[in-house]
Amino acid sequence: MLKTMSRFLFGTLRGRLIIGVAVVHAVMMSLFIGDLTIRQRAMLMNRQIEEATALTQALATSAGEWIATDDISGLQELVDAQRRYPEVLFAILADNEGRVLADSDKSRQGLYMTDLPRVARQSVFSRTPSLVDVAVPAMIGGHHVGWARVGIGQKVAGEKLAKITRNGVAYALAAIFIGSLIAWFIGRRITRRLYAVQDTIKAIRSGNRAVRSSITGVDEPAVIAREFNSMLDALEERNTELCAREEKYRALIESANDAVFIHEIKEDGMPGPFIEVNELAYKRLGYSREELAMLSPMELDDPCYRNRIQDAMERLLKDGHAVFETAQIAKDGRSIPVEVSTRVIEVRGKRLLFSLVRDITERKKAEESLRQRDAELNESQRLAHIGSWDWDALNDTIWWSDEYYRIYGIHPKQPSPNYVEHLKVYTPESSQRLDVAVKRAMETGEPYEVDLELARPIPGTQWIVARGEAKRDASGKICGLRGTAQNITERKRADDAFFEAQRVFRTLVENSPDIIARYDRDCRRTYVNPAYLKTAQIRQNELLATSPIHRSPLPAASATILQNLLRRVLDSGVAETVDVIWPKADNLDYWYNIYAFPEFDREGQVVSVMTVSRDITDRKRAVGALETSEAKMRSIMDNIGIGVSLISPKMEILEMNQQMRKWFPAVDPSQHPICYRALNDPPREAVCDYCPTCKTLQDGLVHEDTSQTPQAGAIRNYRIVSSPVLSASGEVTAATEIVEDITEKLELESQFRQAQKMESVGRLAGGVAHDFNNMLSVILGHTEMLLDSVDPAQSIHVDLSEIRNAARRSADITRQLLAFARKQTISPRIIDLNETIEGMLKMLRRLIGEDIDIAWMPARGLWPVKVDPGQIDQILANLAINARDAIAGTGKVTIETENAVFDEAYCADHTGFVPGEYVTLAVSDDGCGMEKDVLSNIFEPFFTTKGVGEGTGLGLSTVYGIVKQNNGFINVYSEPGKGSTFKIYIPQFQGQSDAEQMKALREPTKGAGETVLLVEDELSVLKLNQRLLERLRYKVLPASTPHEAIRLAEEHAGQIDLLITDVVMPEMNGLDLAKQLLSTHPNLKQLFMSGYTANAITHRNVLKEGVHFIHKPFSTQDLAIKVREALTHQED
Amino acid sequence: MNRRGMIVAALVLLLGVLPGCSREPEGRGPQFGTKPSSPGIPVYHLAVHPLHNPTKLMQAYQPLIDYLNNRLQDACLSLEASRDYAHFEEKYRARKPEFLLPNPWQTLQAMKVGYRVIATAGEPHDFKGIIVVRKDSNFSHPADLKGKAVSYPSPTALAACIMPQYFLHNHGININTDIENRYVGSQESSIMNVYLKLTAAGATWPPPWRAFQKEHPREAAELTVIWETEWLVNNSVMVRDDIPAQVGEQVRALLVELNGITEGKSILSGMETSRFISASDEDYDVVRQYISRFEREVRPVEEQ
């Protein structure tokens, strides 16, 4: 189709005319459309540049100050504001170094614009319709501070422009089409008469030789038509003559007995295309005449003879004739051997080849058959290494075959020797033997066979076997010999090697310490070696021809195993091994490893089985011991409670003990996973930084480190000790990791540290408070005495009252410190917590104000607890005040009680909980809650989140101390904005209920001259208390040490009614003093006083009930009451 | 090429040209890199605390920068203004600028994040707070400001806020309850607030007040300095601790010699600064003590 079209357009006048007109139209329209588009584009571009410049200048002006201040967010707002311009592609603000401060594409912030001009001037970087890119320097006060850069596209205008261009193209194409149509009509008119001539030519070519053009007139087509008609008439006449000549020559060629080929000679001297062939030629080759005419002679020739043909052609061109043999390839592929007789002839000055080709197939077959027989004989002799010879005794000449020459290493072209010369090739001994044999054969006609050794061996040949037999003439007389010679050197060597091997193997087998036996297909022994007989203590004839089942030194079970083994090897032809027990005379079991392997015949059939049995008793015992040891080690490793794993130098996990598998159940060591991937969740892609195993694998030393391993969304802490596994040569072949999970340990350590810290702080606070209390006692006492002695109307009385109040407030603080330090002196009682709390509610409501609601939710059937009710008051007051402070404005405080039981399992999961039965007191608020870091410090003394003067920081410390002093514990739940809950757990009182109520204190009364032994190691306190007691009309025996008190008691003649003693003293504590004095003064009443009760006080700082105690500092009234109470108290 | 080929080529060219008219060349757009196009010598930024608005700051300090850049070897300085005091403090806390010109309180803060003092800017006696009021106001005693609004550049401006507030405190005003403190971002704003009667008094310090008088004589004529505080050490010039020591030393030397040459005097005059004096961190211990006293007695500086 394309070809036709092309031929029409470019091969005809009509087509060229159409193309010419179309091209003219296309060029004109294209120029017009192109010019129009360029002008419109230029106009749009100018407008775009103006817009971009104006916008950039505005942006630069706005951004100057922002750039100067490096105000990124402000600049970004400016840039973002440019988005309202639809054609803005980008807007960028940069500093004077080109660093992007703000960009419509925020990802470019911080990059540098590398194409800005070096000086601060306005620049247009791009002027394409898709982008106008303008940069304007941002200036402040004439100083260049940065750059504004804006890129504007031309999407809408560009689309319009494209539409105009498309329409122009469409118009241009339409113009080309119409022009072409007009051209087609014109062309058709002009070329019509030329086509009439062309029709005449077509008719002649199709075989109508009589047709002539009928165009008339005087124009160019008419002249061409007339000349064409004349030419046709002349050609017709010449053609008739040629046909007659051709028939004559054809008859001659067709009658020839050989194939005739006539063909040209090409410029290179080779045969050219066929001009003529006879019938015999194309029929022999299987072609039609036309097919043969299409071929060149070279295509007919067998390629194998191409060189021969080339030689023949050279001879032909030189001599004018040549005869040679070649082969032609028939159409069916047959190669036909031919003899070609060819000659150069000249016809009308043109050199042709005239060839007679004769089929010589039969002749060739006969020659080939003969040649093949000779070759086969030679090949047979070569394969068999047998040469043949023929000796004519009359003429003493010997004929040798090719192989004979090869065997003796003689060149075939060398003349064969006579009989005597021939004998020299052998050693003298072999020559002699051969000569004897030859002479006997010549005499008797008997054939002979003699092994002969060559005197000078050639490579691969040393020994020959010569065979010969007599040859007789027509009269039956022996006229010579003929025979063969065969190279038997290899056979000779093989025989020697065989005998040597046999000797070696027999020596080996008969001297082997292993037991070796051979069994036939019926499993009967056909051979046993001496080791067998020696081990079994049996004679050979007793064993041979018997099977293990019938006759064996082995026990029945082992013999059966052996028998089965033999049967399997015989059946399968595959070697196998078994271990059997062989008890011996010493009554010990010996282990033998029997290796049985088949023996094959030439056809590959198993003809027998050989067994080699070796004593492996020692090895078996060693393996057993090793397995036992390994089982023990495995058991130890699996039960030591720490993880153990074996890591390869490629960080693969090779082994894991039970603990490791328990920690990492998803890890399968048999897959040899990479440790840092398998043991981390999510997996790591590189070796852990801290990895001690990695170091051990590198330097072969023991390393230790701790890891924080992500596992199941949490972090576990492991202590890892890595030690090397060394090869015999000292190379590190692996590393053993000993892994200990120290997560809980670290947690406990942290708790322990916190507890220690609290304990230290408590001890410090307690110590300070104790000494401070003593001082306060002095201040308070003296102040009260002064107050008593000063008229209240005097101004100094007011000042003294202030001192007393301050001292009391100080005393309150020290009491709180003592409570925290758990050294507060308390008088616990068995109480119903609900009742105690209800008694406090009124006071609590006053304490926290009206805006905060108190919800009281007592539990029913609450267990009794043994606590000093005053301490419960302290706890509630402190927690309520904290709750109040946490609530801004209105809120709610909830106080709840309940019974709670914690078992071991619960406590294991809840840090800080202690198993047991508890009464819970919970105080919750809906206030601001606490941050985690605040929570961790709230129980520390003087830690407060309140403002200066708003809290002492001792409230929660006091609560903590009280709870700990009562063997309870406290838990706080708090989150910022969600309030706080303090839960206090006090152990249930397990003893019998004690309903005894506190007796109401009697009115303080003065003494009646009773004797009081006062013991106090602080002299100022001693003097003060002495004065107080004397004022109360008691007789005082003051003692500053316990020993002094004992001495005074001993020396005092009268009754001592009361002992008032400090508890903590250097020589002896107050309780011991009391005990000692009771031995001499059994009716002695006791009153103990202390700033705190240290370890000397019974049962963890708690006084026994019934023991009278006064807390320092005390007032005169307190002392009066306590002394009276002690003196009048009735012993139970 | 034969004639037929030439005709075909011409046709193809022609048909190719027509649609080609609608194809537009693509713009390349801005080119970006991770480094400046001419990264010859390192550029260091000198951030000046917002004494003035950015434009004015540029006018006053750019001559100094140009002077230094003409003389510095292997370094170049770039002036950086700040929107307000908070913005300036944010920058040095983030250790962004290599050089600082902070006020004394900011000097102490900047020391904490690794800047060190190389010079002070101006005479110590020039570093004092002044309180400006309108001439038509009838204030005669600080107590007259009770219940009124007072403007300051920022709560951390030492001369223009901390010192005036301490002054008022010492004159019986509880600045936390008796007056309304307005922190307006810059020295000029503090003064302009008074002029515009948005605040009854405005705190500032001498250089900006002198500059205001020069640039806005009409507005300044309606204002008067009613009280001055005691003086303290002046603003500092600081360098970040990771900047090569020789660069810091070059800057220090050039600044200190500035008042000895004619060009330098002109530059200093434009900055309302008498001279630069070589100094070190220890010179600001007096400020630390002052601040400590202020915080103890008046208010914490940073929690405003």
Note the pLDDT tens digit of each residue in A315-349.
Answer: 888 888 888 888 888 888 888 889 888 888 887 77
Chain A stretch 47-66, residues whose beta carbon is closer than 8 A to a beta carbon of chain B? 64-65
pLDDT band at A999 (very low <50, low <70, confident <90, very high): very low
Q: How large is the average pLDDT for residues A1092-1097?
A: 42
Residue A531 vs residue A275, higher pLDDT: A531
Of the listed ranges A72-81, B22-31, B71-80, the one predicted with least confidence = B22-31
Say how far apart CA A421 and CA A417 lie, in whole Å. Answer: 6
Scanning A69-144, the segments in alpha helix (DSSP H) are 72-81
Reported residue count of chain B is: 304
Say how far apart CA B280 and CA A146 lie, in whole Å. Answer: 33
CB-nearest partner of B4 from A10, A70, A132: A10
Task: Specify the pLDDT at position A1102.
Answer: 41
pLDDT band at B175 (very low <50, low <70, confident <90, very high): very high
pLDDT in tens, A714-727: 778 888 999 999 88
A816 Cα to chain B: minimum distance (Å): 29
Of the listed ranges A147-161, A415-429, A663-677, B73-87, the one predicted with least confidence = A147-161
Contacts of residue B176 in chain A, CB cutoff 8 Å? none
Asked if B21's CB is within 8 angstroms of A165's CB, the reply is yes
Of the listed ranges A490-494, A768-772, A943-947, the one predicted with least confidence = A943-947
* Residue A552 main-chain phi, psi, to 5 deg: -155, 145
Residue A684 vs residue A26, higher pLDDT: A684
Task: Specify the pLDDT at position B92.
Answer: 93
Does A695 have pLDDT greater than 70? yes
E strands, A967-1107, where?
969-974, 980-987, 1011-1015, 1035-1039, 1058-1062, 1085-1090
Residue B95 vs residue A1094, higher pLDDT: B95
Asked if B32's CB is within 8 angstroms of A68's CB, the reply is no
Q: CB within 8 A of A1001, min separation 6: which ones?
A: A1121, A1125
CB-nearest partner of B36 from A23, A112, A168: A112
Asked if A111's CB is within 8 angstroms of B32's CB, the reply is yes
Q: How large is the average pLDDT for residues A136-153?
A: 86
Q: CB within 8 A of A1056, min separation 6: which ones?
A: A1011, A1012, A1013, A1037, A1049, A1077, A1081, A1084
Q: Are B174 and B150 in contact (CB under 8 A)?
A: no
Chain A stretch 504-533, residues whose beta carbon is closer than 8 A to a beta carbon of chain B? none
Where do we find the tokens 């607890």? A865
Closest to A594 measured CA to CA, from A626, A625, A643, A560: A560
Task: Specify the pLDDT at position A1101.
Answer: 45
Task: Specify the pLDDT at position B303.
Answer: 52
B265 Cα to chain A: minimum distance (Å): 21
Which strands sit side by side in the sheet containing B43-48, from one edge to the other?
B76-80, B43-48, B99-101, B235-240, B115-121, B276-278
pLDDT in tens, B242-255: 999 999 999 999 99
Where do we find the tokens 């019998």? A992
Task: Specify the pLDDT at position A1117.
Answer: 72
Q: How large is the average pLDDT for residues A1059-1080?
A: 82
Task: Specify the pLDDT at position A261.
Answer: 87
Reported residue count of chain A is: 1132
Provide the β-strand partners of residue A866: A830
Contacts of residue A141 in chain B, CB cutoff 8 Å? 55-56, 58-59, 62
Say how far apart CA A115 and CA A134 lie, in whole Å. Answer: 12
pLDDT band at A437 (very low <50, low <70, confident <90, very high): very high
Q: Are A669 and A676 in contact (CB under 8 A)?
A: no
CB-nearest partner of B31 from A6, A37, A115: A115
B29 touching A (Cβ < 8 Å): yes
Residue of A41, A70, A173 to mutate for B, most B C-beta atoms under 10 A = A70
Asked if A116's CB is within 8 angstroms of B25's CB, the reply is no
Task: Specify the pLDDT at position A157.
Answer: 66
Largest Cα separation within chain A, whole Å, is 193
Task: Specify the pLDDT at position B16.
Answer: 56
Task: Specify the pLDDT at position B241.
Answer: 93
Say how far apart CA B275 and CA A350 lie, in whole Å. Answer: 120
Token digits for A511?
Answer: 């001297």
CB-nearest partner of A96 from B7, B24, B78: B78
Task: Specify the pLDDT at position A1002.
Answer: 39
CA dihedral A1100, A1103, A1104, A1108 (to 10 degrees): 170
Asked if A132's CB is within 8 angstroms of B21's CB, the reply is no
Say how far apart CA A670 and CA A679 lie, in whole Å. Answer: 15
Asked if A98's CB is within 8 angstroms of B21's CB, the reply is no
Q: How large is the average pLDDT for residues B176-190?
A: 88
Q: What is the dihedral sign for C-alpha A376, A377, A378, A384? A: positive
Task: Specify the pLDDT at position A1096.
Answer: 37
Asked if A169's CB is within 8 angstroms of B19's CB, the reply is yes
pLDDT band at A998 (very low <50, low <70, confident <90, very high): very low
Q: How large is the average pLDDT for residues A847-855?
A: 80
Q: Would you tell me the crossing angle of helices A869-886 and A795-820 to the nearest 10 degrees?
A: 90
Task: Specify the pLDDT at position A1113.
Answer: 64
Say how far apart CA B184 and CA B53 lie, in whole Å. Answer: 12
pLDDT in tens, A896-939: 898 888 877 667 656 667 788 899 999 988 888 888 777 777 88
A1014 touching B (Cβ < 8 Å): no
Chain A stretch 150-169, residues whose beta carbon is closer than 8 A to a beta carbon of chain B? 151, 158, 161-162, 165-166, 168-169
B35 Cα to chain A: minimum distance (Å): 6
Task: Specify the pLDDT at position A696.
Answer: 92
Does A1095 have pLDDT greater than 60? no
Task: Specify the pLDDT at position A1106.
Answer: 59
A143 touching B (Cβ < 8 Å): yes
Task: Specify the pLDDT at position B118.
Answer: 94
B29: closest chain A residue by CA = A133
pLDDT in tens, A63-96: 888 888 888 888 888 888 877 777 788 899 998 8
Of the listed ranges A131-145, A754-768, A833-847, A1015-1029, the one predicted with least confidence = A754-768
Task: Specify the pLDDT at position A378.
Answer: 79
A13 Cα to chain B: minimum distance (Å): 13
Q: How large is the average pLDDT for residues A647-672?
A: 89
A1015 touching B (Cβ < 8 Å): no
Asked if A111's CB is within 8 angstroms of B28's CB, the reply is no
Residue A896 vs residue A370, higher pLDDT: A896
pLDDT in tens, B6-15: 666 666 665 5
Does B5 have pLDDT greater than 70? no
CB-nearest partner of A111 from B29, B33, B87: B33
Chain B stretch 42-81, residues whose beta carbon is closer than 8 A to a beta carbon of chain A? 43, 45, 53-59, 62, 78-81
Q: Strand, helix or coil at A940?
A: coil
pLDDT band at B94 (very low <50, low <70, confident <90, very high): very high
CA distances from A147 to A97, A761, A957 (A): 9, 64, 63
Counting one residue from A and one from B, how many pairs have CB atoms under 8 Å apart?
A: 146
pLDDT band at A1100 (very low <50, low <70, confident <90, very high): very low
Q: Taking CA A1053 as the corner, what is the angle to CA A1047 and CA A1057, rounded to the nearest 5 degrees? A: 85
Which strands sit side by side in the sheet containing A980-987, from one edge to the other?
A852-857, A891-902, A916-925, A980-987, A969-974
Mean per-residue pLDDT of chain A: 82
Does A991 have pLDDT greater than 80? no
A96: closest chain B residue by CA = B78
B147 touching A (Cβ < 8 Å): no
Asked if B78's CB is within 8 angstroms of A97's CB, the reply is yes
Q: Strand, helix or coil at A325?
A: strand
Percent of residues, chain A, with pLDDT higher than 70: 91
pLDDT in tens, A228-269: 787 877 777 777 677 666 777 777 778 778 888 888 887 777
* Residue B129 main-chain phi, psi, to 5 deg: -90, 145
pLDDT in tens, B239-291: 999 999 999 999 999 999 998 898 999 999 888 888 999 999 998 888 888 88
Does A595 have pLDDT greater than 90? yes
